Amino acid sequence: VIATGVAMPVVSLGTGGGDVGNRSVVRGAVRDWLLVAGGRGIDTAADYDNEDLVGDALADAAAAGVQREEIFLTTKQPGPLGYDATLASLEASLGRLRTTWVDLFLVHFPDPANATTPAEARQLRQDTWRAMEHLRASGKARAVGVSNFEVTHLKDVLDVATVVPAVNQVLFNPVKADMELLAFCDRWGITLEAWSPLGGHDSRHGEVLNLPLMRRVAAAHGVSTAQVALRWALQHGIVLTAGTTNPAHMSTNLDLWDFRLTDDEVAAISALTPPRGRSAPGALLRGGAGLGSGARV
């Protein structure tokens, strides 16, 4: 549960990076996620340039008997746009998605494109958040949150918020884990959502999944190293968005409940993040070139 009356699936299909980030495959991937694997969470964004294709897949699913009310749909606006532009941004996304509401609406990046001073950036973040609260009250977004926000950006929002962000979607995996940010979000009741939970954001996907520690833990539980990485995040209280076009991998990503990592295993995997390896999520480049196994930043 990420907000009053709003339950979010623990695993969503990311559509912004890797093979699933290609426009030619998005519709089929979302359809397979919903109709073959049985997933129900979908993550998209205005910046991914595929909301129209996600809308097509939603229509396909409805024709096959999976109705919009059964699906948890997340989209994002590019950044802090200001009050009026934020309202317009969601209207545009709803039109492309061909739906009257989203379940979660996020501010994709913390830094405004047109701010010239830190004070102006802070003001735009705060004005944008007021608009997000209005959209939540209107019912056009059942829950609202942020993405790639560091603690300092969250504090700007919290200074004016009457509704705490439900979610902060950030890069989080065994080799890029910002535990200080996780602790801050936990204190405020903000759910952390991991994009690129298998480490594919910087071509380290194979490295993460082939680490000797990950292979040993996977063998001990009779599961894949991908399942170990996802289960590790879940045991930190994190929800996930992971992208794939492979229905078998989709099913594996959902099959996380028949095993549990020991405390020692969780601690050992957490130690894979170097002391200086906690990337500032807001500093990541837009566009997500080379991403895999998760939503584009």
Tokens 């200001």 belong to which residue? 82
Tell me the Ramachandran region of residue 152: left when phi exceeds 0, alpha when psi lies from -120 to 50, beta otherwise: alpha
176 and 278 in contact (C-beta within 8 Å)? yes
Q: What is the DSSP letter of 284?
A: S
- Residue 214 to residue 202: CA distance in whole angstroms: 18
Tokens of 170: 């950030």
Nearest alpha-carbon partner for 283 in 115, 146, 121, 149? 149
CA 43 to each of CA 54, 116, 242, 297: distance values in angstroms, whole numbers, following the listed order: 9, 31, 9, 12
- Residue 61 to residue 72: CA distance in whole angstroms: 13
> In residues, how long is the chain?
297
What residue type is assigned to position 189 of the chain? G
Tokens of 189: 């009741």
Nearest alpha-carbon partner for 167 in 112, 237, 231? 237
Torsion angles phi and psi, residue 253, rounded to 5: -65, -25
CA 79 to each of CA 14, 95, 121, 153, 270: distance values in angstroms, whole numbers, following the listed order: 19, 19, 11, 12, 30
Of the candidates 33, 48, 105, 195, the residue annotated as catalytic is 48
72 and 12 in contact (C-beta within 8 Å)? yes
Q: What is the DSSP letter of 258?
A: S
The answer to whether 48 is a known catalytic residue is yes
- Residue 236 to residue 15: CA distance in whole angstroms: 24
Residues acting as catalytic residues: 48
